[in-house]
């Protein structure tokens, strides 16, 4: 009888340990979506896990459209989108919460002599009306159009703002912000667009209507080519306690400095 009691106690202890391990294993946060948000979400994830060493954090850079679908299908806790939700997506129970605002920089090779383009010139270039750099004050060379793939939040933002939706004649449609920057940096005739927070010295960001893209010009609204960085959740699916704690912290004043240091403007400021 005594031996049986010991065996039962051991089994109960093992079950409790397994449950406890299971509880620890659920102390994780999974994010999925916009490649443009890599820098800011990476900084937030790193800072949060330093504050809470028991929490795991993952970011899957699949693009805005994929991140939105991932939330809808329950494959991640929080989706990341560099565009606002469409009415059809909201009708499916998805909810957007602004995290930050980011400029979309119009980029060229550093050797390009062009420094400024008007919004009208940008639209004319991407729709094929202007095909040579000479027409906008540059060299007599053909313009090579680089952009993002369909479903990209950056592409959606760029085309919506410039009035070129479904009209752009891309030479290349690339699947990440980093790929666009790399492609433009290797082609003296290229033009592209990318998140301001991700711009490197390997490319040159142009002024648009005389306004240079910067944190200040995005914040005061003078730089016109900008879009929101959204956290996407599902109204009918409650976040885990761990994911909700991160969500609330990311929107708090504690995280605003981290967001700002990532080159974007906190939506809370």
| Interval 10-59: pLDDT, tens | 334 444 444 444 444 458 999 999 999 999 999 999 999 999 999 999 99
Domain encompassing residue 93: 28-100+227-266
Cα–Cα distance measured from residue 78 to residue 190, given in angstroms and rounded to the nearest whole number: 35
Do 145 and 178 reside in the same domain of the chain?
A: yes
Residue 19 covered by a domain: no
Residue 23 covered by a domain: no
Could you tell me the pLDDT band of residue 1, with boundaries at 50, 70 and 90? very low
pLDDT the model gives residue 16: 44
Do 203 and 139 reside in the same domain of the chain?
A: yes
Do 70 and 111 reside in the same domain of the chain?
A: no
Return the minimum-mean-pLDDT range out of 5-14, 42-51, 110-119, 136-145: 5-14
Do 118 and 198 reside in the same domain of the chain?
A: yes
Residue 45 covered by a domain: yes
- Per-residue pLDDT tens for 79-107? 999 999 999 999 999 999 999 999 999 99
- Per-residue pLDDT tens for 225-247? 999 999 999 999 999 999 999 99
Q: What is the model's pTM?
A: 0.76
Do 255 and 157 reside in the same domain of the chain?
A: no
CATH number of residue 123's parent domain: 3.40.190.10
Do 116 and 172 reside in the same domain of the chain?
A: yes
**How many domains are contained in the chain?**
2
């Amino acid at each position: 009888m005594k031996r049986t009691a010991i065996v039962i106690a051991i089994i109960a202890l093992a079950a409790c340990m397994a449950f406890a391990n299971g509880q620890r294993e659920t102390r994780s946060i999974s994010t999925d979506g916009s490649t443009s948000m890599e820098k800011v979400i990476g900084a937030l994830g790193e800072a949060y896990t330093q504050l809470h060493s028991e929490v795991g954090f993952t970011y899957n850079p699949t693009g805005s459209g994929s991140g939105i679908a991932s939330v809808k299908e329950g494959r991640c806790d929080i989706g990341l989108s560099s565009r606002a939700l469409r009415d059809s997506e909201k009708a499916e129970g998805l909810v957007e919460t602004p995290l930050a605002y980011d400029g979309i920089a119009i980029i060229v090779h550093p050797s390009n002599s062009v420094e400024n383009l008007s919004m009208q010139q940008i639209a004319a270039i991407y729709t094929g009306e202007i095909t040579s750099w000479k027409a906008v004050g540059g060299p007599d060379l053909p313009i090579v159009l680089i952009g993002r793939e369909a479903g990209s939040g950056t592409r959606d933002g760029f085309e919506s703002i410039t009035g070129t939706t479904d009209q752009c004649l891309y030479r290349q449609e690339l699947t990440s912000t980093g790929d666009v920057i790399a492609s433009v940096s290797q082609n003296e005739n290229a033009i592209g667009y990318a998140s301001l927070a991700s711009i490197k010295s390997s490319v040159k960001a142009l002024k648009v209507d005389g306004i240079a893209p910067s944190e200040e010009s995005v914040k005061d609204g003078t730089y016109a080519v900008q879009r929101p960085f959204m956290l996407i959740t599902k109204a009918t699916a409650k976040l885990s306690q761990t994911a909700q704690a991160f969500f609330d912290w990311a929107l708090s004043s504690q995280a605003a400095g981290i967001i700002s240091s990532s080159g974007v403007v906190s939506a809370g400021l």
